[in-house]
Amino acid sequence: MSLADAPLGHDVPYPDQYDASLLFPIERAANRAALGVSAPLPFVGDDIWNAYELSWLDARGKPQVAIGRFTVPADTPRIVESKSFKLYLNSLNQTRLPDAAAYAERVERDVSAAAGGPVRLTLIPPDRFGQARISELEGELLDGQDIEIRHYTPAPELLRCETGAPIVEETLRSDLLKSNCPVTNQPDWGSVQIRYRGPKLDRAALLAYIVSFRQHAEFHEHCVERIFMDVMAACQPQALSVYARYTRRGGLDINPWRATPGMPAPDLTMRTARQ
């Protein structure tokens, strides 16, 4: 199947019966090949999907609700197209299940089959909703740089190290990341954190590069991998982590991170104010 066969960008009826076949997988390989990425992968990481509209029925027909955090490893061969994911989750709204564990087991099984690898689902019940932590990504904000922007499609040639760059270890962030859905061209708004150890990056150049995604059409996961590979190629840091948190659409937000092996995982449990 091609992306043209996906439900994204088409009018489709919302299901009222459980249907795992609604999940539409997309191979990662084609995008990675365009970036020069092949096995073994030069990065580790996960795609974190937060689902805010989970519901099912208990054994007596009473609705249950939860927030779900899906962890999809970066080494799974496929991602799941987001509209198909939403349709699938909604197909469980009228499904009777004995308890939350049974719901999680079924959904983990179906999504893992679509992704081609083990996907973990953490359910957050209503009595824990108030524990959700809203904060911003750690790091020094780049967005105050006084720069002129000339590029609105990815321009890796903008990236450079400072002249005579010393080796530094720092964390930088921006709230100016925007790309577009490759099917509908709707805007995807996000924040990005770049943590690295290596020659000091030129901050104005880095911000101009981040903004250059503004008219680029690519899925969230692919954008993060592109940023990772471009920064690695430009300055060859000894260690690098790229983490993006995208705003919610259709009850889902997607938050990919990619890092060189050995880099600690970022905080994957928080969400930003815009999310």
pLDDT tens for 88-142 read 999 999 999 999 999 999 999 999 999 999 999 999 999 999 999 999 999 999 9
Annotated binding site for substrate: 80-82, 220-221
Q: Are residues 143 and 127 in the same domain?
A: no
Give the pLDDT band of residue 213 (cuts 50, 70, 90): very high
**140 is written with which tokens?**
């020094």
Q: Which residues contact 98 (CB under 8 A, 6 or more apart)?
A: 58, 59
Whether residue 6 has pLDDT greater than 90:
no
Q: Are residues 78 and 161 in the same domain?
A: no
Q: Are residues 127 and 43 in the same domain?
A: yes
- Residue 257 contacts residue 268 (beta carbons within 8 Å): yes
Q: Are residues 37 and 113 in the same domain?
A: yes
- Residue 42 contacts residue 210 (beta carbons within 8 Å): no
Q: Are residues 256 and 144 in the same domain?
A: yes
Question: Looking at the 3D structure of the chain, how many domains does it have?
Answer: 2
Calpha distance 191→171 (Å, rounded): 13
Annotated binding site for NADPH: 82-83, 249-250
238-272 per-position pLDDT tens digit? 999 999 999 999 899 999 999 999 999 999 999 99
Q: Are residues 117 and 151 in the same domain?
A: no
Q: Are residues 182 and 237 in the same domain?
A: yes
The CA R_g of the chain, rounded to the nearest whole Å, is 19
Bridge partners, residue 123, by sequence:
68
**The pLDDT of residue 98:** 97
**244 is written with which tokens?**
């993006």
**110 is written with which tokens?**
């179906």
With respect to residue 256, please indicate whether it lies within any of the assigned structural domains: yes
Give the pLDDT band of residue 16 (cuts 50, 70, 90): confident
DSSP E strands: which ranges in the chain?
Answer: 25-27, 44-57, 63-73, 78-80, 120-124, 140-141, 167-180, 187-199, 239-246, 252-259
Whether residue 202 has pLDDT greater than 70:
yes
Q: Are residues 151 and 236 in the same domain?
A: yes
**The pLDDT of residue 164:** 85
Q: Which of 131, 160, 188 is the last residue of a domain?
A: 131
Which residues are catalytically annotated?
Answer: 181, 188
Q: Are residues 154 and 254 in the same domain?
A: yes
With respect to residue 6, please indicate whether it lies within any of the assigned structural domains: no
Residue-range definition of the domain harbouring residue 182: 138-261
Average pLDDT over residues 157-173: 93
Q: Which of 131, 158, 181 is the last residue of a domain?
A: 131
Calpha distance 13→87 (Å, rounded): 9
Q: Are residues 122 and 228 in the same domain?
A: no
Calpha distance 1→204 (Å, rounded): 42
Give the largest CA-CA distance in the chain: 69
Nearest to 219 by CA among 35, 69, 38, 67: 35
Q: Are residues 70 and 171 in the same domain?
A: no
With respect to residue 242, please indicate whether it lies within any of the assigned structural domains: yes
Calculate the CA dihedral of residues 219, 230, 207, 258 and round it to 10 degrees: 60
Annotated binding site: 80-83, 220-221, 249-250
Q: Which of 107, 131, 155 is the last residue of a domain?
A: 131
Whether residue 55 has pLDDT greater than 60:
yes
Q: Are residues 84 and 152 in the same domain?
A: no
C-alpha dist (Å) from residue 211 to 144, 165, 174, 235, 261? 13, 23, 9, 19, 27
CATH number of 195's domain: 3.30.1130.10
- Residue 126 contacts residue 54 (beta carbons within 8 Å): no
Q: Determine which of 7-21, 139-153, 258-272 has the lowest per-residue pLDDT on average.
A: 7-21
**The pLDDT of residue 157:** 98
